[in-house]
Chain A
Amino acid sequence: MAQTAEAVRGQSPPAPPPPGPPTPPRPRRRKIPTPYLLIAPALVLLVLVQLGPILQMVWNSLHSYTVRHLLPTAPAPEWNSFAHYATLLSDAEFWMILRNTVVVCALMVGVTMVLGTAVGNLLHRLPRWFSVTVSIGMMLAWATPAISASLVFRWLFLPERGLANVALDRLPDWLVGGGWLDYNWFLEPVPLFTVLILVIVWQSFPFVAVSVLAGLKSIPDELYEAARVDGAGGWRSFWSITFPMLRPLFALLLVLQIIWDLRVFTQLYILANSFQNKSVYLLSYYIYQQGFSASPANYGMGSAIAVVMTVMILAVTAYYLRIMIRQGETR
């Protein structure tokens, strides 16, 4: 939008020639690269801390690179002709972790999107005072730092004293079964991932709900009224009006949730609480374990896993980038 304003102004006759820097109108020293000076500090930092490390990650993944290569007298890491990738591809544990990552991420994203969209619609329908109250409550969940949220859920699901176990134990056995009091949620993949998904959904559905609510407010009421007169119910008008109108928003939210949920680390770190059990790893957890917890630390292997994760994210992001470019964000 800003770009359009700029372009329009560039076309108006009294304005200075569009490509030139406008602030110093005096034509002296026209060639000073002011914009380059302005972006230089940010660019240096980005290259050093992000762009460079992206390339290094790829390089590391192709070399035998362990903690001993960091010693002052150590030789340079040796080229190992894709050995890390070959190992990963033939490693059943890696495939299990990759599968778990995809499945857990899909569940997190799916539940977050459905719940968030439903709550967004609900907020739109509720009277203002109640809608605002619920929104403020959701802000609390959204604002809770990942580490605090993980600790609270660990405490909620703790064997013997955790509220969830006590509550499940007190419910009638015919409903939920018995023996919940000392049930440990944090040992096996399915229960642990269940709690993990619950934490993530709890923290991320408010963002989806608030975004959908903002989107709904931009759709004219007349459309819904017309649909109602034509006999369409709530479900029908969602799929015939809301969804098509908000398709770009839903696409964006979906991509964001996938990217965020693929990299989940802190919550898993607290819930799993150790690196003993590979069956509860997710990709980012595996990267960290290889790089900093394994003995010896294997930077090459950790980087290879990081490359896999980055490729997955960039595959999703390609779609997002296309949306952004089409919306003119890069102009």
Chain B
Amino acid sequence: MTATTTARASGAARAPRRRRTPPPVLARRAGAYAAGAAVLVFSVFPVYWMVATAFKPVGEIFSKDVRLFPGSLTLEHFDRVINGELIPGVNFWEFLGNSLLVTLGSVAAGALLSLLAAVAVARFRFKMRTAFIMVLMVIQMVPCEALIISIFINFRRLQDASGVQMLGNLTGILIVYTAFSLPITIMMLRGFVAAVPRELEEAAAIDGAGPWTVFWRILMPLVAPGLVAASIFAFITAWNEFIVALTFLGRSTEEYTLPLTLSYYFGRFGTEWGAIMAASTLLTLPVMAFFLFVQRRMVSGLTMGAVKG
């Protein structure tokens, strides 16, 4: 390391610096490339293995002669997952429908509620404002793993008292997903609303636009990117969620979301690794697609005020 530094320092003193790269620098650069390649392999390999297994014929998966690259490819597992019955009596499309319904439902509800709250926090000064923000920040620390018993009991009591079904169907988990993504999405959106220059709204108001016109024509277009980012964030959280679905859906297999279906599939048919990996691949694809969109926002959103994963 010292050798490198001196070499560089003296190289900087002379004019043609880039010409003769001293060997230590070259070795170091090769080392950096090798380390980068190792990180790349470490990151990608399990994903590769999931997809590769999903395309391997059953015979090859069962064989003890494990090969890094599939000898032949087949779609039989995807066919079985998509067209077969994942759980007796229920097929993939119904589970996909359940997952989409609860995810999109909680995303839509969350977007509306958090936009309203974000406007309140960013645009108004009111007595409870600081208290509200503090509550958001504390609440998002307490994980649902700790609250799940209390929420379960509440839903059960509500269900017994009113007859409204809260457990064993998608209503209950939709409500929980919406509530649990709120603190993060409110904090994310608050920044976007605050960034819209107030002069724009004032100018529109002077020109005779009512509050609704100002909201829809001025604020919304400028906050839309934030709304998209927050929604995708909420989508990924709800789409991946496992423990709440596991607890609240119980034996109502026809209401299962995809992650729950996967765990059931694994439990009952522990040896069907091809089908399990095919289903895992299908579950992972939409998340990866969205992730590439919001990756930057995820970083700033998470390090800014959002704690719940």
Residues of A within 8 A of B (CB): 2-3, 5-6, 9, 18-19, 21-25, 33-36, 38-39, 41-43, 45-46, 48-54, 56-57, 60, 70, 72, 119, 122-123, 125-126, 130-131, 133-134, 136-149, 151-156, 158, 160-161, 163, 166, 181, 202, 206-207, 210-211, 214, 228-229, 231-235, 249, 252-253, 256, 259-260, 262-263, 265-266, 269-270, 273, 284, 287-288, 291-292, 299, 302-303, 306-307, 309-310, 313-314, 317, 320-321, 324, 329-331
Contacts and interface: CB of A to CB of B under 8 A. Distances in A.
B147 to A, nearest CB: 4
Contact of A249 (B134, B303, B307): B303
Q: Give the secondary structure class of B's interface.
A: helix
B18 interface: no
A-B interface, 9 closest residue pairs, ranked by CB to CB distance from nearest: A2-B194, A53-B150, A38-B120, A49-B179, A35-B124, A143-B291, A233-B1, A148-B280, A284-B145
A317 to B, nearest CB: 4
B146 A330 contact: no
Nearest to A77: B153
Interface string B228-257: 000000001001101100110000000000
B164 interface: no
Contact of A256 (B124, B147, B284, B307): B307
Given A152-B277, A161-B66, A329-B133, A137 B43 contact: yes
Contacts of A233: 1-2, 4-5
Interface string B125-152: 1101110111111110111011111111
Contact of B195 (A2, A292, A313, A329): A2
B229 to A, nearest CB: 15
Contacts of B130: 330-331
Contacts of A141: 43-44, 46-47
A51 B135 contact: yes
A37 to B, nearest CB: 8
Interface of B: 1-2, 4-6, 8-9, 32-33, 35-36, 39-40, 42-44, 46-47, 49-50, 53, 61-64, 66, 112-114, 116-117, 119-126, 128-130, 132-139, 141-143, 145-154, 156-157, 160, 175-176, 178-180, 182-183, 186-187, 190-191, 194-195, 198, 201-202, 205, 211, 214, 236, 239-240, 242-243, 246-247, 259, 262-263, 266-267, 273, 276-277, 280-281, 283-284, 287-288, 291-292, 295, 298-299, 302-305, 307, 309
Contact of B160 (A72, A160, A309): A72
Contacts of B302: 207, 256
Given A134-B39, A210-B299, A291 B149 contact: yes
Contact of A140 (B47, B137, B240): B47
Given A23-B214, A122-B35, A148 B142 contact: no
A147 B142 contact: no
Given A143-B284, A151-B276, A207-B299, A287 B146 contact: yes
A228 B9 contact: yes
Given A22-B202, A145-B283, A263-B143, A125 B32 contact: yes
A60 B149 contact: yes
